[in-house]
Amino acid sequence: MARFLFATVPAVGHTLPALPIARALIERGHTVRWYTGVAFADKITAVGASFHPITDPGFDYSLDGLDQRYPRRRELSGLKKLQFDMVQGFSRPVPSQVRDLRALLREEPADAVIADTGFIGGVFLRELGGPPLAGFGVSVLPFTNRDLAPLGMGLAPARGPLGRLRNRALASSIRRLLLRPVTAELNRTRRMLGLPASSAAIFDYPLATQLYLQFSAPSFEYAVPDVPSQVAFVGPPRQPVDPGWQPPAWWPELSGRRVVLVNQGTVATDADQLIRPALAGLAGEDVLVVAATGDGDPAGLAPLPANARVERFIPFDRLLPHVDVFVTNGGYGGVQLALSHGVPIVGAGKTEDKIEVNARVAAAGVGVNLRTQTPELGQIRAAVAAVLADSRYATAARRMQAEITKAGREIRAAELLEQLAGGPALERPWTAQAGAEGEGGLHHRVGAAG
């Protein structure tokens, strides 16, 4: 029996995707503790893990979200918002994270720590001599490659001398203009903990992991050389369904009709950006439109078109087998779950990591990227019609579905974590200096998770 300690940023997209892995480990006889925000306590204990809260309430925004915790964030957009999130959401909590994790390890040692890609405290703990560290990716693969521009730009790979020159120049600019305050914040923590200062950018830190579980199929990512050897593509874990959930009265209408699912995920949830225009744009079309609003009140979308059905929450694994097209702003988890059911995608989103997710949707041939945060009614209608009419999108999505199934999902993730917990120690522990060297095709890259 091994002892695992999960540690995640207190946000839905950073915590919930890994619940099936914890459940699989527990079913295999291991013990699991989980450190994160209080909003997730019930879901964590429901899979059999023990919950341990973030002790500093100033860094637990799981109940109110970043916008409510930091009202200034609502006024920001683009790279400024990304920079704000990296400082406030990922960097400043690190001292508290390290303090809390050390306390938990004093109470009971762990054979491995598993942290999401935004939980930087796990990396600092590892540098300080902590247990073996695994990471998991809640967005596109964060590791840098010489053939890729920095994340956040939505640019296709550029190969050859000129392309790599472009990538280096862009990476240098992003480091200077965007990442400098983030690096400074992390270095303040390093000095506080007795670690040497480093030029490593925040998105170099996932290189500290000995195992990095990527929740997608390999073909969803760009085909580039020099992917770090610790990366394991396991596909999206299968999410648990509440046994008490009951289908709505309109559920039988899913049979015999083409179904379009519309959703905006858990972060960029302004219904005026996608849900409302999708309902209006598809009104009168020969499809059943199902919208899931999440935290948004479905009553706020009234009056509804005759072909629309709206719910606050529907388990995607129950709904997606009936869906023909998924219209989304590009939330990573939702896109991967859709592909796990072979459902093609229409993507319309540019905030957080969504510009990169939607770019990969188009590059992989599994859908259409509208390249906007606020699509027009006609754009949505035309894109849905195109995906329904061209079988190549559905065929590509089904190929990726088969790839995800073969990857093993949460069962394969549990097997790899067992190997990490029982395996030999690293010959040379990762340090921020080693992770920032940038040789052999790796260089600094900016990205977003969440």
Residue 83 sits in a domain whose CATH number is 3.40.50.2000
3-state secondary structure of 261: strand
Residue 80 binned pLDDT confidence (cut-offs 50, 70, 90): confident
Q: Do 46 and 16 touch, CB atoms closer than 8 A?
A: no
Statement: residue 5 has pLDDT above 70: yes
Burial of 282-300, coded b for 16+ CB within 10 Å and e otherwise, reads beebebbbbbbbbebebee
Residue 20, pLDDT > 60, answer yes
**Which amino acid is located at 86 in the chain?**
M
Summarize pLDDT for 406-429 with one digit per residue, the tens.
Answer: 999 999 999 999 999 986 544 334
CB-based contact 224:155 (threshold 8 Å): no
- 40 shares its domain with 128: yes
* Helix axis angle, 391-407 to 332-340, nearest 10°: 90
Most confident of 28-32, 152-156, 172-176, 206-210: 28-32
| 310-355 tens-digit pLDDT | 998 899 999 999 999 999 999 999 999 999 999 999 999 887 788 9
DSSP symbol at 266: S
Asked whether residue 424 falls in the same domain as residue 278, the answer is no
Q: Which domain holds residue 291?
A: 251-405
Q: Are residues 354 and 213 in the same domain?
A: no
**Exposed, middle or buried, 337 (CB in 10 Å: 0-12/13-18/19+)?**
buried
More confident residue, 260 or 84: 260
Same domain, 214 and 67: yes
Let me know whether 191 and 59 are in one domain. yes
Comparing CA positions, the residue from 92, 113, 160 lying closest to residue 2 is 113
Task: Say if 246 falls within a structural domain.
Answer: no
Q: Indicate if 286 and 231 belong to the same structural domain.
A: no
Is 205 in the same domain as 73? yes
The pTM of the full predicted model, rounded to 2 decimals, is 0.89
CB 137 within 8 A of CB 217: no
Average pLDDT, integer, range 363-384: 95
Q: Phi-psi region for residue 78, left (φ > 0), alpha (ψ -120 to 50) or beta?
A: left
Confidence category of residue 306, pLDDT binned at 50, 70, 90: very high
- For residue 366, tell me if it sits in a domain: yes
Q: Are residues 285 and 399 in the same domain?
A: yes
Q: Is residue 228 part of a domain?
A: yes
Phi and psi at residue 365, to the nearest 5°:
75, 15
Same domain, 322 and 413: no
Kindly report, residue by residue over 30-79, the tens digit of the pLDDT.
999 999 999 999 999 999 999 999 999 999 999 988 888 888 888 887 77
